Amino acid sequence: MGYVMKVSIPRKTIYRLSVYHHCLGQLTPDAGGRISSDALARVAGVKPTQLRKDLAHFGHLGKRGLGYEVETLREKLAEVLGTSKLQPVILIGAGNLGSALLRYQGFAREGFEIVAAFDSDPEKRRKCNNGVVVYDLDELPRIIRETGARMAILSVPSEVAQQVTNTLVQSGIKAILNFAPIILQVPPNVMVNNVNLAVELENLSYFVQ
Amino acid sequence: MGYVMKVSIPRKTIYRLSVYHHCLGQLTPDAGGRISSDALARVAGVKPTQLRKDLAHFGHLGKRGLGYEVETLREKLAEVLGTSKLQPVILIGAGNLGSALLRYQGFAREGFEIVAAFDSDPEKRRKCNNGVVVYDLDELPRIIRETGARMAILSVPSEVAQQVTNTLVQSGIKAILNFAPIILQVPPNVMVNNVNLAVELENLSYFVQ
DNA sequence: CTGTGTGAAGGCTTTCACAGCC
DNA sequence: GGCTGTGAAAGCCTTCACACAG
């Protein structure tokens, strides 16, 4: 019944943890099933000391002189990130981008299952995309309750994004991956990650000049 | 014929510049066509002082006691970001995500035009998506030369991403928006922005626990 | 000897406090 | 009075240097 000191892990570290987790699959361990911080850091695109410091937040995961055991590390990372068990996710907005995300295999590979989709357009609801049923927005509270989903992917037009977000928050969603190019207003206990494709391109544009 | 001191602008500032640029469209100026740093910062999701510091890199853009003139600011930001003139962009990988990006209207709104797409699958090349012709990968060097494109969107499977990147770099591409979940190796004069959807979800997952 | 773990140093970004102009 | 511009301070993150374990 030990205390766990609540030392908050830097957000950037958490972000890189995901990257490390991915990269573990991309390289071959040595004979003992181990890998060095140098090797992993190279594929992850970071410095070895940073990798070690990041991992050190979660205990003595490596063995000095030997490196990190790949399987143990993979499990630990999944545990920390909360992807060791399948996470139910809902998707709102089955339009152009939304339906592509529904078919995207990368989510499933990392332990996420899109359990339901939503769209206001009856046309979009007709065909259930990739085996996922597309519901009306009215059904949001009910389905969230029934599936126990706490994460949502938001790919609706900007004009309705805030309004839909309010419903999501009221229904108990705790994390939103937002593709709409606006800053969502949410209570402090709800987390939002923004993916703004136009901003990413615009950013590159600066460096091309 | 004045010197322009090459003070390098922080990357994060450049990133936020894009956000400010977007946000300018989302709010109504005052009677004099002006807006305060407080108001703009609120929609952009940053602190007013940060906004002012960011903008201060590019001269005295605001008027004390009055704020920033919306139109002047918009033009200045577009100029700095290099989006004041239409930027040609190519897209490689017209699969699930790629074809959604081809149809995505957000790029055009910000001054980018996808001038050509590429895919190794002849099936994908049959239908020219959204008025954009899908070419074979063999055509990459020729089309890049002819269109003068310096930016590329990469939405191919991870397995071929590095190989395609090499071709892009050889053909003169200077910036890549990469959707493949691997770290691309490129020379220092080529810029890569990674968008890793699974990592974004995984990152949220941590905070939901 | 190899490669991890970590306090200390360094560098970068954000925030503060207030001077300066309209 | 209102709001921007900016040096100084604070905070955060990365990198270094090296102790330490296998």
Structure tokens given for B188: 């220092």
Q: What is the pLDDT of residue A1?
A: 40
Nearest residue to D16 via alpha carbon and C1':
A49
Would the pLDDT of B4 be above 50? no
Q: Is the CB of B60 under 7 A from strand C?
A: no
Closest-approach nucleotide to residue B63, Cα vs C1': D4
| pLDDT tens digits, A164-191 | 999 999 999 999 999 999 999 999 889 9
A81, B206 Cβ separation under 8 angstroms: yes
In this predicted structure, the answer to whether residue B110 has a pLDDT above a threshold of 60 is yes
Nearest CA distance, B162 vs chain A (angstrom): 12
Rounded to a whole number, what is the distance in Å from the CA of B65 to chain A's nearest CA? 27
Instruction: Find the nucleotide nearest B64 (Cα to C1′).
Output: D4
Please judge whether A44 and B97 are an interchain contact, meaning their C-beta atoms are less than 8 angstroms apart.
no
Q: What is residue A128's predicted lDDT score, i.e. its pLDDT?
A: 65
Please give the Cα distance from B180 to B198 (Å, whole number).
10
- A57-71, A105-119, B2-16, B64-78: which has the minimum mean pLDDT? B2-16
The reply to whether A45 has its C-beta less than 7 Å from any atom of strand D is: no
Q: Rounded CA gap, B154 and B47, in Å?
A: 34
List bases, strand C, within 7 Å of protein CB. 1-7, 12-17, 20-22
- Note the strand D nucleotides within 7 A of protein beta carbons: 1-7, 12-17, 20-22
Query: Is the pLDDT confidence value at A129 over 80?
Result: no
pLDDT at B190 over 50: yes
Is the CB of A177 less than 8 angstroms away from the CB of B204? yes
The strand pairing partners of B116, in sequence order, are B90
- Chain B residues with CB under 8 Å of A110 CB are 198, 201-202
Selection from A95, A73, A97, A89 nearest residue A24 by Cα: A73
In the structure encoding, which two tokens stand for residue A98, read together?
A: 């939304």
Share the mean pLDDT of chain A: 91
3-state secondary structure labels for all residues of A92-158: ECCCHHHHHHHHCCHHHHCCEEEEEEECCCHHHHHCCHHHCCEECHHHHHHHHHHHCCCEEEECCCH
Dihedral sign for Cα B131, A197, A159, B12, please.
negative
Could you write out the DSSP letters of every residue in B53-113? HHHHTT---EETTTEEEHHHHHHHHHHHHT-SSPEEEEEE--SHHHHHHHH-SHHHHTTEE
The SS3 assignment for B131 reads: helix
Burial class (CB in 10 A: 0-12, 13-18, 19+), B188: exposed
CA of A50 to C1' of D21 (A): 20
Backbone angles phi, psi at A123, to 5 degrees: -60, -45
Q: Are A73 and A24 in contact (CB under 8 A)?
A: yes
- For the purposes of burial, counting CB atoms within 10 Å of the CB of A73, is it exposed (0-12), middle (13-18) or buried (19 or more)? buried
| Closest nucleotide to B49: CA versus each C1' | C15
For the ranges B149-153, B168-172, B196-200, which has the lowest average pLDDT? B196-200
Tell me which residue of A142, A183, A157 sits closest to A92, measured CA to CA. A157
- Angstrom distances, CA of residue B162 to CA of A22, A159, B99, B136, B145: 16, 38, 20, 17, 21
B14-35 core/surface letters (b: 16 or more CB in 10 A; e: else): bbbbbbbbbbbeeeebeeeebb
Q: How far is B190 from chain A (nearest CA, A)?
A: 8
